[in-house]
Amino acid sequence: MHFNFNGADCTWYGFWFAFGLTASVFLLFSAAVSWTLASVTREHWASVAPIAWALFASHAFHVFLSWRYFFAGPGVFSTVITALLGVGAFRESRAWPRLRLLADYLSGRFPLPYLQRALTIAKFEPGVYEVVESFVPGGLASWRAHAGAWRQSGRHACPGGRGLVMSESGYILKNADAVASTRLDVLASIFDPWTRAHLDARGLSAGWRCWEAGAGGPNTVRWLAERVGPTGHVLATDLDPRWAAAAIGANVSVLAHDVTEAPPEGGFDLIHARLVLTHVPERERALRNLAGALRPGGWLVVEDPDPDLLPLSCLDGPDEARELANRLRASFRSMLAARGGALAFGRRLPGLLSGLGLADVGAEAYCPVVHPSLAVLDRLTYEQVGKGLVAAGLATEAEIAEHVDNVSCGLVTPLMAPLITVWGRK
Ligand SMILES: C[S@@+](CC[C@H](N)C(=O)[O-])C[C@H]1O[C@@H](n2cnc3c(N)ncnc32)[C@H](O)[C@@H]1O
């Protein structure tokens, strides 16, 4: 049947045939786009998410049209496609890890503090679920076991426990800050394997008495407690031990203690301090305290960065983004130095340990260049010190926001200063 449409001679057959082909071409195109989207990494998902959701919305409209004007065949087909697109886009979105974390929390797999920390990271990192999972040895399955320790730590009357206000002198990355515990966990995910290998190499075994000074979070403390077993003991100290307190247990005690003050009594088989002395203005006195608390034959293991050995924070990437990353890192370091932090302490440690009369002194450096947690650590660090940098006139809010965006979309990959691990025996 012929009819006139805007002056053209049309047939119903031609009209519907052309419309059908137009829809088929659109479907082929959307299949190609969906195929391409499926291979986009999480890191770059944010930039393609609008395309995915637009595709989902147009298919959802198709579902409506199909059920309203066509018949069951195209209705079912378009419904299945739309549902798959929606699930795919949602799984890549930032909401997905949050939802999974929430489900884990509601099902009692881990307690509130983990949820809060995980959500803090999820804010920055769509692919954070895997990173968070790596926080707890044994993965998510063991979070339930850790729930007990968290609750227990809340009940313990621990000197310097939750809620106590500490004097933290010039230390800028305060444990009381909102992102501090997450940042400590991220530090652990970067450095724990290296640290543990060195502590094991010192012969750490059942029955040892250990002192973890400037413990920060509970990870190393818990690990030491497992290694020394019920016949050993671990003392964890920190200016502000609110996070280390989560490790309190039968063979673990936690104290608020300034490492520059008189050391705890008793004589230790192993004393370990990581990323602590570099922040302490009276670091040589602190080192003397640590060495003085060893029992004869006991090991001291000290780990501190040496940022001056590697002043760059970013080796690769577009010029502008790389320069911004390096400039901000230099500003952060000058703020650390202004607050009494040391930028070239790691290299001095072997000489200082020998000077304290320790024997069998050895040292190694660790410098992760690509690691999934480095970007998270960088963002958390600016979250924690950004306001201070702006207040000191060392950076602007816009520069920090731009850098955090650059890191989020993978334009630049930040790296750490080398960590110098030094050991010596009394
Ligand atoms: C960068 S964090 C490192 C934490 C942990 N050692 C690690 O490697 O994950 C530094 C820690 O040292 C603690 N700290 C800073 N100055 C201290 C001092 N004078 N005495 C004891 N702890 C101190 C801080 O409270 C913080 O927990």
pLDDT digits (tens, 9 = 90+) for 211-254: 999 999 999 999 999 999 999 999 999 988 888 988 998 999 99
- What is the pLDDT confidence band of residue 202, given thresholds at 50, 70 and 90? very high
Average pLDDT value for residue range 44-58: 79
- What is the pLDDT confidence band of residue 143, given thresholds at 50, 70 and 90? very low
Distance CA 347, CA 338 (A): 20
| Atom 27 of ligand 1: nearest residue by CA position | 216
User: Is 303 touching ligand 1 by the criterion CB < 6 Å?
Assistant: no
User: Is 416 touching ligand 1 by the criterion CB < 6 Å?
Assistant: no
Q: Please check the confidence at residue 132 and state whether its pLDDT lies above 70.
A: no
Q: What is the pLDDT of residue 116?
A: 55
- Tell me the backbone φ, ψ of residue 240, rounded to 5 degrees: -135, 95
Q: What is the pLDDT of residue 219?
A: 94
Please count the other Cβ atoms lying within 10 Å of the Cβ belonging to residue 231.
9
Token pair of 311 as six digits: 């002043």
Q: Which of 371, 405, 400 lies closest to 384, judged by CA?
A: 400
- Tell me the backbone φ, ψ of residue 29, rounded to 5 degrees: -60, -45
Q: Please check the confidence at residue 285 and state whether its pLDDT lies above 50.
A: yes
Please state, in angstroms and as integers, the Cα–Cα distance from residue 42 to each residue in 33, 38, 45, 71, 375, following that order. Answer: 16, 10, 5, 37, 14
User: Is 380 touching ligand 1 by the criterion CB < 6 Å?
Assistant: no
pLDDT tens for residues 72-95? 888 887 888 888 888 777 777 766
The domain locations on the chain are 2-93, 160-425
Q: What is the pLDDT of residue 140?
A: 44
- β partners of residue 237: 213, 255
Name the most confidently modeled range: 8-17, 114-123, 334-343.
334-343
Q: Please check the confidence at residue 373 and state whether its pLDDT lies above 60.
A: yes
Pairwise pLDDT comparison (151 vs 258), residue with the higher score: 258
Distance CA 350, CA 84 (A): 59
3-state secondary structure the chain: CEEEECCEEEEHHHHHHHHHHHHHHHHHHHHHHHHHHHCCCHHHHHHHHHHHHHHHHHHHHHHHHHHHHCCHHHHHHHHHHHHHHHHHHHHHCCHHHHHHHHHHHHCCCCCHHHHHHHHHHHCCCCCHHHHHHCCCCCCHHHHHHHHHHHHHHHHCCCCCCCCCCCCCCCCCCCCCCCCHHHHHHHHHHHHHHHHHHHHHHCCCCCCCEEEEECCCCCHHHHHHHHHHCCCCEEEEEECCCCCHHHHCECCEEEEECCCCCCCCCCCEEEEEEECCHHHCCCHHHHHHHHHHCEEEEEEEEEEEECHHHCCCCCCCCCHHHHHHHHHHHHHHHHHHHHCCCCCCCHHHHHHHHHHCCCEEEEEEEECCCCCCCHHHHHHHHHHHHHHHHHHCCCCCHHHHHHHHHHHHCCCCCCCCCCEEEEEEEC
Q: What is the pLDDT of residue 145?
A: 41
| Atom 13 of ligand 1: nearest residue by CA position | 214
- What is the pLDDT confidence band of residue 41, given thresholds at 50, 70 and 90? low
pLDDT tens for residues 305-342? 999 999 888 888 888 999 999 999 999 998 888 888 88
User: Is 187 touching ligand 1 by the criterion CB < 6 Å?
Assistant: yes
pLDDT tens for residues 155-185? 332 322 222 222 334 567 778 777 888 889 9
Ligand 1 pocket, mutate which of 175, 238, 345 (most atoms under 8 A from CB): 238
- What is the pLDDT confidence band of residue 112, given thresholds at 50, 70 and 90? low
User: Is 188 touching ligand 1 by the criterion CB < 6 Å?
Assistant: yes
Q: What is the pLDDT of residue 87?
A: 77
User: Is 214 touching ligand 1 by the criterion CB < 6 Å?
Assistant: yes
Token pair of 389 as six digits: 């940098």
User: Is 304 touching ligand 1 by the criterion CB < 6 Å?
Assistant: no
Ligand 1 centroid, distance to 425 Cα (angstroms) = 23
Q: Would strands 419-425 and 252-256 be described as parallel, antiparallel, or unpaired?
A: unpaired
- What is the pLDDT confidence band of residue 8, given thresholds at 50, 70 and 90? confident
Pairwise pLDDT comparison (384 vs 118), residue with the higher score: 384
Considering only 31-40, 98-107, 215-224, which range has the smallest mean pLDDT? 98-107
The C-alpha angle with vertex 24 and arms to 20 and 27, in degrees rounded to 5, equals 140
Average pLDDT value for residue range 100-126: 56
Token pair of 383 as six digits: 């979250």
User: Is 260 touching ligand 1 by the criterion CB < 6 Å?
Assistant: yes
Domain 160-425 is found in CATH 3.40.50.150: yes
Is this model's pTM higher than 0.85 or not? no
Q: Please check the confidence at residue 63 and state whether its pLDDT lies above 50.
A: yes
Pairwise pLDDT comparison (102 vs 259), residue with the higher score: 259
Which ligand 1 atom sits closest to the C-alpha of 286?
19
Which ligand 1 atom sits closest to the C-alpha of 282?
19
Name the amino acid, one letter, at 343. Answer: L
Token pair of 120 as six digits: 């803090």
Q: Please check the confidence at residue 378 and state whether its pLDDT lies above 60.
A: yes
Ligand 1 centroid, distance to 157 Cα (angstroms) = 21
Q: In what order do the strands lie in the sheet with 359-366?
A: 252-256, 233-238, 209-213, 268-274, 294-305, 419-425, 359-366
User: Is 238 touching ligand 1 by the criterion CB < 6 Å?
Assistant: yes
Please count the other Cβ atoms lying within 10 Å of the Cβ belonging to residue 365.
18
